[in-house]
Amino acid sequence: MFHFKQFSVSHDRCAMKVGTDGVLLGAWAAAEDKRSVLDIGTGTGLIALMMAQRCPYAKVWGIDIDADAVEQARENCDRSPWADRITILESDFCHPFAIQGYQFDAIVSNPPFFKEQVHAPDQQRELARRQDALPLPLLMKNAAPMLTEGGTFSIILPLASVNDAVGEAAINGLFLTRRCDVITTEGKAPKRAMLEFSNHIRPAILSSITIYNEKHLYTPEFIELTRDFYYNM
């Protein structure tokens, strides 16, 4: 079990474990004035829980295609202080009938990111990490009409997928409003980027964040971003 300041997350039955990507996105995604939030591919429910903590008046929905992940996410959310505001559904976002017609002020996703065949230890983990389980074109196509006017859609992707994501978003009427490149260790090149899209056009804000310094200690910028969640921050 992984313990945060206000909640705990079990992940023994989930293909994708609690990781830095999810924590980064949950702390970085726009939260101000959000009343409805959708977490696509919720897994353990981590990002849904983080958004519930950051959006005190929001109803939060998490969906996942994997039944074991859904069961564990429900348990994690039911133990949290926000159990009455979080709903976890077993649903395939490629065919999102369970939430068809709903709109959200914020949509967040830490999506599958490997385009090629991967050799994961088991089929569940392979499904969770292969992009063909939730391809970018379909992700953007289905997310766009689910955003309220001026809503935000935030994702984290490998740097190599950024241009594809921006292009697919534009095809569906979504425009890049923020981008934060993620550098794992000081002095290294970024390997991930967090992207925020909106159906309102405005100048994109570009930034970067480094997780570790050369001594493999958390940087001040990472500490500042995650201080509401991690202990000893």
What is the CATH number for 77?
3.40.50.150
Q: Greatest CA span in the chain, whole angstroms?
A: 49
In a domain? residue 42: yes
Average pLDDT score over residue span 137-147: 95
**What's the pLDDT band for 129 if we cut at 50, 70, 90?**
very low
- 233 or 46: whose pLDDT is higher? 46
**What's the pLDDT band for 147 if we cut at 50, 70, 90?**
very high
> Per residue in 60-108, pLDDT tens?
999 999 999 999 999 999 999 999 999 999 999 988 777 888 999 999 9
Identify whether the C-beta of residue 73 lies closer than 8 Å to the C-beta of residue 42: yes
Nearest Cα to Cα of residue 119 among 127, 111, 109: 127
**What's the pLDDT band for 132 if we cut at 50, 70, 90?**
low
Cα separation, 15 vs 13, whole angstroms = 7
Q: Is the pLDDT of residue 117 over 70?
A: no
Identify whether the C-beta of residue 158 lies closer than 8 Å to the C-beta of residue 195: no
In a domain? residue 157: yes
In a domain? residue 231: no
Q: Which domain holds residue 144?
A: 2-226
The pLDDT assigned to 233 comes to: 62
Q: Is the pLDDT of residue 123 over 70?
A: no
Query: In the chain, what percentage of residues exceed pLDDT 70?
Result: 90
Average pLDDT score over residue span 18-31: 96
Q: Lowest-confidence range among 18-27, 54-63, 87-96, 108-117?
A: 108-117
> Per residue in 151-166, pLDDT tens?
999 999 999 999 999 9
**What's the pLDDT band for 217 if we cut at 50, 70, 90?**
very high
In a domain? residue 191: yes
The pLDDT assigned to 207 comes to: 98
In a domain? residue 117: yes
**What's the pLDDT band for 130 if we cut at 50, 70, 90?**
very low
| Packing angle, helices 20-28 and 46-54, rounded to 10 | 30
Q: Is the pLDDT of residue 168 over 70?
A: yes
Number of folded domains in the chain?
Answer: 1
In a domain? residue 232: no
